[in-house]
Amino acid sequence: MKASMLFQWNEHRAPMSWLAIGLLALLPMTADGDEHPWDTLQVHGFLSQALVITDDNDFFGTSSENAGSLEYTELGLNASFRPHRKVLVAAQLLSRRAGGETSDATPTLDYGVIDYQMASSQSRTLGVQVGRFKNPFGLYNQTRDVAFTRPSILLPQSIYFDRTRALGLAADGVSVYWEEHTAAGTLRFRSGLGSPQTGSELTRQLFNGAASDVSASEPSAIAQLLFEDPTGQWIAALSTASVHLETSLGGHAADFEFQPWIASLQYNEEQWNLTAEYALRQQSLKGDNVPRAFDITGESWYVQYQRRFTPSWSGLIRFDRLINDTDDRSGQRYEQGGLGPAHSQFADDITLGVQWTPTSMLMLAGEYHAVNGTGWLPKQDNPEARETRQHWNMLLFQLSLRF
Rounded Cα distance between 220 and 239, Å, is: 14
**Residue 316 and residue 327 in contact, taking contact as beta carbons nearer than 8 Å:** no
Question: How far is 155 from 177, CA to CA, in rounded Å?
Answer: 25
Ranges 80-89, 207-216, 352-361: which has the least confidence: 207-216
Average pLDDT, stretch 183-193? 95
3-class state of residue 236 by DSSP: strand
Q: How many CB atoms lie within 10 A of CB 295?
A: 10
Average pLDDT value over all residues in the chain: 86
Evaluate if residue 7 carries a pLDDT over 70: no
Domain extent for 230: 5-402
Q: Are 277 and 303 in contact (CB under 8 A)?
A: no
- The residue among 99, 129, 114, 156 whose CA lies nearest residue 300 is 156
**pLDDT, tens digit (0-9, with 9 covering 90-100), for 361-398:** 999 999 999 999 999 998 888 989 899 999 999 999 99
Would you say residue 357 has pLDDT above 90?
yes
pLDDT for 3 equals 37
- Going 223 to 228 to 233 to 238, the CA torsion angle's sign is negative
Q: What is the pLDDT of residue 10?
A: 38
Q: What is the CATH number of the domain that holds 192?
A: 2.40.160.10
pLDDT above 50 for 1: no
Closest alpha carbon to 380 in 94, 61, 50, 95: 61
Task: Name residues whose C-beta falls within 8 Å of residue 13's C-beta, 6 or more positions apart in sequence.
Answer: 42, 44
pLDDT of residue 204: 59
Q: pTM for the full model?
A: 0.86
Q: What is the β-pairing status of strands 185-196 and 170-182?
A: antiparallel
State mean pLDDT over 45-62: 95
pLDDT of residue 14: 36
pLDDT at residue 200 in the model: 53
CA distances from 168 to 20, 163, 346, 385 (A): 21, 10, 20, 24
At 166, which helix (H) or strand (E)? Answer: helix 165-169
Q: How many residues does the chain have?
A: 403
- What would you report as the CA-atom Rg of the chain, rounded to the nearest whole angstrom? 21
Q: What is the pLDDT of residue 163?
A: 76
Q: How high is the pLDDT of residue 24?
A: 41
If residue 21 lies in a helix (H) or strand (E), which one and from where to where?
helix 18-21
Please report the pLDDT score of residue 168 as a whole number: 78
Contact between residue 163 and residue 378 where contact means Cβ atoms under 8 Å apart: yes
Secondary structure of residue 280 in the 3-state scheme: strand
How would residue 202 be classed by pLDDT, with cut points 50, 70 and 90?
low
Half-sphere exposure of 209 (CA within 13 A, CB side): 7
Distance CA 47, CA 402 (A): 6
Element (H, E) at 122: none
DSSP calls for 91-141: EEEEEEEESS-GGGGS-EEEEEEEEEEEEE-SSEEEEEEEEEEE---TTTG
Residue 20, pLDDT > 60, answer no
Q: What does the pLDDT read at residue 13?
A: 35
Residue 29: pLDDT band with limits 50, 70, 90: very low
- The number of folded domains in the chain is 1
Say what the pLDDT of residue 207 is: 60
Q: Answer whether residue 16 shows pLDDT above 50.
A: no
pLDDT digits (tens, 9 = 90+) for 288-323: 777 677 889 999 999 999 999 999 999 999 999 999
252 has pLDDT over 90:
no
Instruction: Check if the beta carbon of residue 129 is closer than 8 Å to that of residue 114.
Output: yes
pLDDT greater than 50 at residue 26:
no
pLDDT tens sequence across 134-143: 999 899 998 8
Decide: residue 178, CB within 10 A, 0-12 exposed, 13-18 middle, 19+ buried. middle
Q: Is 100 left (phi over 0), alpha (psi -120 to 50) or beta?
A: left
Contact 216, 246 (CB under 8 A): yes
> What pLDDT, on a 0 to 100 scale, did the predictor assign at position 201?
60
Regarding predicted confidence, which is higher, 59 or 15?
59
Contact (Cβ atoms closer than 8 angstroms) between residue 198 and residue 172 = no
- The number of helices, as runs of H, and strands, as runs of E, in the chain is 4, 17
Q: What is the pLDDT of residues 113-163, one digit of tens each?
A: 999 999 888 889 999 999 999 999 899 998 888 899 999 999 999 999 887
Q: What is the pLDDT of residue 298?
A: 96
pLDDT above 70 (res 34): no
Q: Give me the mean pLDDT over the 170-188 stretch.
A: 94
